[in-house]
Amino acid sequence: MGGRVRRYRRFLRDAGAWARGRLPRGVAGGVRRHRWFLGVLGLGAALRVVTVLGYRPALWFPDSYTYVVTAIKPRPDLVRPAGYSMFLRLFEPFHSFALVASVQHLLGLLVGVLVYLTARRLGAPGWAAVLASVPPLLDAYQIELEHLLVSDTLFATLVMSAVCLAVSRATGPVSPGSSAPSRTGGLVAAGGIGLLVAAATLTRTVGLPLVALFAAWLVYRARGRVLAAGVMIAAALVPIAGYALWFHATYQRFGLVGANGVFLYGKTMTFADCAVMRPSPDLAVLCDPRPPAARPPAQEYVWSTDSPLVKLPGITFTEENDALAGRFASLAITRQPLDYLGSVLSELARSFTPDRPVYPDAEVYGYYEFPATPPLPPGRYPATEGAKFARRYEQGPIDVRIAEPYAGWMRAYQGVARLPGTAVLVIVLVPPVTAAARRLRRGPAGVSGGPAGAGSAAWPLPWATAVLLLVMPPAVAEFDYRYVLPAVPAACLAAAFMAPKPSLHNIPRNVRI
């Protein structure tokens, strides 16, 4: 009874504060405690509002039209899984790509909030948590990516949601004296992680290795108990297997996409030397006599009409062509493993350049810049066909309308507010280097002097997630600037976990922290 009375009095006190135009005591304390983050979040929200006002209804990428086609006519696509298309389908009754872009901006803000709250919850100092939220909230290229009708923002949100859930205390080890609800809560959280990873995989197939990564993490967190990992794997594989069955019903072959061999072939053509490979006659038709240094980027071997693969009969992504391309790529990798490794590392290094040199070509690079003039309508099939479905989705024109001065403000902002590749490299290196330094400083009594928060033990998962997302595209396809951005929030979270906290022994007694 006393508790109800106290809650009622607190309600009356807070209501009175609101009536007088003041923040209640608890709310005011929270605002003061998180004021720096709220400032960053507010600025990020304002920038996104300016973007929505400046570019209407949204910005288009060549892949966007395929996503819209699948949203209107649901079926597995041979090149891209249908997760993002189903996301678009959720908003199809509103007939507004502007709404889709606005929701993606909200997801971008959510990623920043997840980074900050998770960092604080696991003991990171406030300044580190705020800094970790800055790249996902304020990077101009991140904001531009959110305004593009592509899958990366949704993918990044799903991955970060899984990471933040996985490092939370809910999935931690179950102590012998703990209650059953705690164990049950951990299993429910593990199932949620699995569903998030499955959704990420069905949005971008690069998420599939995350199933193994998160399973290993749960086994580690549970001190060898595999039940949580088993629940997570089952929750992830059931939707993925269901999608594979849908794919089989459509194309009479199992898979999530039908282009893995094709993209890996494009990747290997950056180094493949048929004189070294000595391919069989059926594979030799895919050789390029030009030396690797004179060849175009990997994507041209997938899409260009000059590609040996594209010249083969039938569409590029038939089962036969994909299998042939996959066999060629496997032969190139096994016969030239060092060349393959060098190609992966050289592509990965593009993630860490101080500037943003044009790559893979000016056309693709231009899609990542806020335009000064309306982009031209698509000129390639099937984008021209997809544009018809897009107009049906919008129930009106889909041409990009540029409104000044808002668009000009974002172009100017993009010229100065971006995360350099060298900064990404530093962020990625901070956690392992800091962990190694603390091990070296560890005294004979085993005291490392590191932070007391749980985050100091949680950094491996977000760090490994970031590294995997950076490495996978160059390993199986090619580097692209937009593939770097989903890895940044996880890397920032890992770095925040390793930030030093002030020692209580070194703080004067009259200083409050």
**DSSP symbol at 375:** P
Greatest mean pLDDT among 366-370, 373-377, 455-459: 366-370
**Amino acid symbol at 136:** P
Peptide bond into 209 cis (omega under 30): no
Cα–Cα dist 485/175, whole Å: 38
Please give the distance of CA 292 from its chain centroid, rounded to a whole number.
31
pLDDT tens digits for 435-446? Answer: 999 888 875 444
Which residues are registered as beta bridge partners of 401? Answer: 56
Position 507 scores a pLDDT of: 41
80 contacts 151 by C-beta, under 8 angstroms: yes
- Look at residue 24 and tell me whether its pLDDT is greater than 70: no
**Amino acid symbol at 119:** A
Query: How many residues does this entry show for the chain?
Result: 513
Tokens 């391919």, located at residue? 279
Q: Tell me the average pLDDT of the chain.
A: 88
Position 329 scores a pLDDT of: 97
Q: Mean pLDDT across the stretch 311-328?
A: 93
Half-sphere exposure of 488 (CA within 13 A, CB side): 30
pLDDT tens digits for 475-505? Answer: 999 999 999 999 999 999 999 999 887 654 4
Cα–Cα dist 174/186, whole Å: 8
Higher model confidence: residue 20 or residue 57?
57
Please give the distance of CA 385 from its chain centroid, rounded to a whole number.
28
- Look at residue 369 and tell me whether its pLDDT is greater than 50: yes
Q: Mean pLDDT across the stretch 361-370?
A: 93
Lowest mean pLDDT among 223-227, 256-260, 421-425: 223-227
Cα–Cα dist 250/245, whole Å: 9
Contact partners, residue 193, CB within 8 Å, separation at least 6 = 162, 165, 166, 171, 214, 218, 232, 235, 236
Domain edges within the chain: 1-33, 262-352
pLDDT band per the 50, 70, 90 thresholds, residue 73: very high
Tokens 């991955």, located at residue? 159
Position 414 scores a pLDDT of: 97
Position 128 scores a pLDDT of: 95
CB atoms within 10 A of CB 81: 24
320 contacts 314 by C-beta, under 8 angstroms: yes
Q: Mean pLDDT across the stretch 294-309?
A: 92
351 contacts 470 by C-beta, under 8 angstroms: yes
Position 439 scores a pLDDT of: 85
Position 381 scores a pLDDT of: 67
Q: 187 is written with which tokens?
A: 């299993």
Cα–Cα dist 264/327, whole Å: 10
Q: How far apart are the first and last CA of the chain?
A: 35
Share of the chain above pLDDT 70, in %: 85
Position 506 scores a pLDDT of: 45
